[in-house]
Amino acid sequence: MPAAFPSLPSLNALRMFEVVARHLNFRLAAEELGVTQAAVAQQIRGLEAGLNIRLFERLPRGLGLTDAGRGYSASVRDALAMIDEATRLLRPAPSQLTVSVTPTFAAKWLIPRLGHFAEGQPGIDLRLLATDRLSHFHTDGVDLAVRHGLPPFGPGLNSELLMEQRVVAVASPALLAGKGAPDSFEALQGYVALHDAHDYWPAFNTALFPGHGPGTARNLRFNQTSLAIEAAVGGQGIALAEQAFVAHDIAAGRLVQVFPLQLRLDKAFYLVWPRRARQPAGLAVVKAWLKQQAADS
């Protein structure tokens, strides 16, 4: 019996061809596929050699599709979409969605709320990627990210405000009871200032005590806000943190807000996701749930 589809190229080569045809750039295609640029170029050369036809024009700046490549890319894209759809129908499973956040955002805001989400949305399998490294949507398989800053966050990305930033000073009740309330600039210098990577203390001091210098308080520095918060809970000093990150500790009596001041900054927390023709199932549900949680916090 003759082999089925004797002229069919490697499916891996066809998949790489579809991605390169979409980006017209080997580097961007390699990022999406999670392989090296050299591996993508090698597969495309092999595909063109096997077909004995040029699919791309090598231009001074990037790539261009030949007439044959343009027609072939449309057919290959349709065929891969059919295979993808057939596979999904064959193996129905909960919608999987990967959300990228910082460790502090995960520990102090998101994780305490996830139980309610799992109960209310059993059809969505939520994967949490907590890292201080800036995740890549394609190579890390991220569908949605919470990022701190100001838009735009990059080409090809959508963004939507999740919550404004409100920085407050917090300390353990026992520490304040022992040392007394820091109700003046001079009294504040008797406390250890707990810093994180953002270093909001100079701006906070200026807003709290106008006309004074940056302060001479003793300092203790951490690379993550969650560590500074835990140090404050342990009575080691006064920390500055996003109000939403310390709300549970304040409600539980582990921390108190030292000053009424809420320092508002230009930067905020945004939902960020890539622009795609077909968005992952469940993305709209997760975005709406996160925005509702932020509104309630």
Quick one: 148 and 255 in the same domain?
A: yes
- pLDDT number for residue 133: 84
- pLDDT number for residue 33: 86
**Domain encompassing residue 43:** 11-90
Quick one: 112 and 195 in the same domain?
A: yes
CA atoms of 121 and 100, how far apart (whole Å): 19
- pLDDT number for residue 1: 47
Quick one: 133 and 45 in the same domain?
A: no
141-196 residue pLDDT tens:
899 999 999 999 988 899 999 999 999 999 999 999 999 989 999 999 999 999 99
Q: Give me the residues of the chain with pLDDT under 50, please.
A: 1
Of 90, 123, 153, which residue constitutes the final position of a domain? 90
Tell me if residue 78 falls in helix, strand or coil.
helix
- pLDDT number for residue 221: 94
Quick one: 118 and 205 in the same domain?
A: yes
Does 44 fall in a domain? yes
Structure tokens at 252: 């539980």
CA atoms of 182 and 259, how far apart (whole Å): 9
Of 90, 109, 135, which residue constitutes the final position of a domain? 90
Phi, psi of 90 (to 5 degrees): -70, -35
Quick one: 259 and 168 in the same domain?
A: yes
- pLDDT number for residue 252: 96
CATH number, residue 117: 3.40.190.290
CATH number, residue 46: 1.10.10.10
267-287 residue pLDDT tens:
999 999 998 878 888 999 999
Does 40 fall in a domain? yes
Peptide bond into 214 cis (omega under 30): no
> How many residues comprise the chain?
297
Does 64 fall in a domain? yes
